[in-house]
Structure 1
Amino acid sequence: MERFAGRRALVTGAGKGIGKAVAAALSRAGAHVVALSRTQADLDSLQKECPGIQTLCVDVGDWEATEAALSELGDIDLLVNNAGIALLQPFLEVTKEAFDRSFNVNLRAALHISQIVARKLIARGAPGAIVNVSSQASVRSVMDHTVYCSTKSALDMLTKTMALELGPHKIRVNSVNPTVVMTEMGRRNWSDSQKAAAMISRIPLGKFAEEADVVNGILFLLSDQSNMTTGAMLPIDGGFLAS
């Protein structure tokens, strides 16, 4: 079912994991997709799998380069702010470089790209939908995740304030807040079996999320099926936040 036919969608962090899966799913559902990543090889791989997808190579942590790249894109109806990094350090060992890079990519880029897309939507009087990819770590602390948790907590508040201010322009803004997702990054950061078991023991469904679980939530929030939902944080966590 081509429920996104005629829509133009921008997905950041689309070279791997959730972003790549979202870009492919939106393309299959009829959207014209612009997939953004900082790694050209990843974009080339995606385009081989989904030839209809347009690619854009830029580091979203670079404000000026992002502004220049997106100025050439034209109209965008749907935005998925998925680009993110997890630089894990114990609190007492957090570095300035890790802090700045994490906030630049996980928070500042979402604000900046959303501004660019929203301004164009408002200028043409068109409705739109934005989904920010957050985390259960926005509301629950995790060892060695001081900076990551902080960026995601800030992203949730950004989601709410964007929803408040963009709602009158018919632009909906929501987030998905997954538990650990079995992407390449998820497997790498949770490869320690003891660490993983401790987290899984706190999830009522007893497992980590798969990419498809998150993709389905994002597509729901982008679609007209959620046209009365904005400013929401959708947990995709197997019940972790209920425990």
Structure 2
Amino acid sequence: MELGLAGRRALVTGAGKGIGRSTVQALCAAGVRVVAVSRTQADLDSLVSECSGVEPVCVDLADWEATERALSSVGPVDLLVNNAGVALLQPFLEVTKEAYDMSFDVNLRAVIQVSQIVAKSMIARGVPGAIVNVSSQASQRALANHGVYCSTKGALDMLTKVMALELGPHKIRVNAVNPTVVMTLMGKANWSDPQKAKVLLDRIPLGKFAEVENVVDAILFLLSDRSGMTTGSALPVEGGFLAT
């Protein structure tokens, strides 16, 4: 299915690894000019060598002032993927202030800040746009040791709805994708224990975790005009986990 994304300009956060990196690669292949944001310069360097034309921006999105400086002159953006995120897992009774602050700074506050910068530019230019927030099935299901992570993603789903409500009149669509465990390098490392994985897999009707391309395909669909009447949604990519 032709998505018609060629010629547009996108900004992707968390672009150095995993879902973000694969999203950048897919967008470039679709003829999109991409601004890739990561806190790791080495990841950006290797990404630029793989995808010519990618514009790298190295910044830690947990730093509000540095993010403002780095993105204030990023130029016109038509598509935004808020993918950057952290997963700091602790039992509820052991949650630390540091883990709480870092999780909400990156998983929620940075989404607000980056989206404000991009959306204000879209509105000033009078152009339509699309924003996709990478959420999680953990926004809707309690998982042990995920108290802070689940909370950030639950908040992100509601933020997505509010953004859709307020930005819709400006013809800016905002949606979330909510994957299960994704087989990135991090996903494989965290869920390589068969016993640990079985507990979750037994709750997934399709009996498997998501591959990166499953999530990237959903992101590209929501960025494209093929989803032109979809906004404020949370699209599950979780093999039926939320149906159980």
TM-score with structure 2 setting the length = 0.98
Q: In the alignment, residue 185 of structure 2 is paired with which amino acid?
A: E
Instruction: Tell me which residue corresponds to 1:220.
Output: 221
The answer as to whether partners of 1:2 and 1:28 remain within 8 angstroms in 2 is no
Asked whether 1:14 is paired with 2:15, we answer yes
Instruction: Tell me which residue corresponds to 1:131.
Output: 132
Distance 1:220 1:46 in 2: 23
Pairing of 1:176-191 with structure 2 (within 5 A): 176-191=177-192
Q: In the alignment, residue 215 of structure 1 is paired with which amino acid?
A: V
Pairing of 1:111-122 with structure 2 (within 5 A): 111-122=112-123
SS in 2 for 1:238: coil
SS in 2 for 1:180: coil
Instruction: Tell me which residue corresponds to 1:152.
Output: 153
Distance 2:188 2:46 in 1: 21
Q: In the alignment, residue 145 of structure 2 is paired with which amino acid?
A: D
Distance 1:37 1:212 in 2: 20
Residue 2 of structure 1 and its aligned partner are, at CA, apart by 7.3
Instruction: Tell me which residue corresponds to 1:92.
Output: 93
Q: In the alignment, residue 128 of structure 1 is paired with which amino acid?
A: G
Distance 2:65 2:3 in 1: 35
Distance 2:175 2:77 in 1: 17
Q: In the alignment, residue 79 of structure 2 is paired with which amino acid?
A: L
Question: Structure 2 stretches of 5 or more lacking a match?
Answer: none
Residue 3 of structure 1 and its aligned partner are, at CA, apart by 2.2
Instruction: Tell me which residue corresponds to 1:55.
Output: 56
Instruction: Tell me which residue corresponds to 1:5.
Output: 6
Identical-pair percentage: 71
Distance 1:59 1:3 in 2: 32
The answer as to whether partners of 2:79 and 2:223 remain within 8 angstroms in 1 is yes
TM-score with structure 1 setting the length = 0.98
Residue 190 of structure 1 and its aligned partner are, at CA, apart by 1.7
SS in 2 for 1:175: strand
The answer as to whether partners of 1:91 and 1:146 remain within 8 angstroms in 2 is yes
For residues 165-186 of structure 1, give each alpha carbon's deviation from its aligned partner in whole angstroms, at most 9, with x where no partner exists: 0000000000000000011221
Distance 2:72 2:130 in 1: 19
Q: Which segment drifts farther, 188-197 or 201-210?
A: 188-197
SS in 1 for 2:178: strand
Q: In the alignment, residue 232 of structure 1 is paired with which amino acid?
A: S
The answer as to whether partners of 2:3 and 2:224 remain within 8 angstroms in 1 is no
Q: Segments of 4+ in structure 1 off by > 2 A?
A: none
Distance 1:75 1:21 in 2: 22
Residue 110 of structure 1 and its aligned partner are, at CA, apart by 0.4
Distance 1:98 1:187 in 2: 22
Q: Which segment drifts farther, 55-64 or 183-192?
A: 183-192
The answer as to whether partners of 1:2 and 1:30 remain within 8 angstroms in 2 is no
Q: Which segment drifts farther, 47-56 or 24-33?
A: 47-56
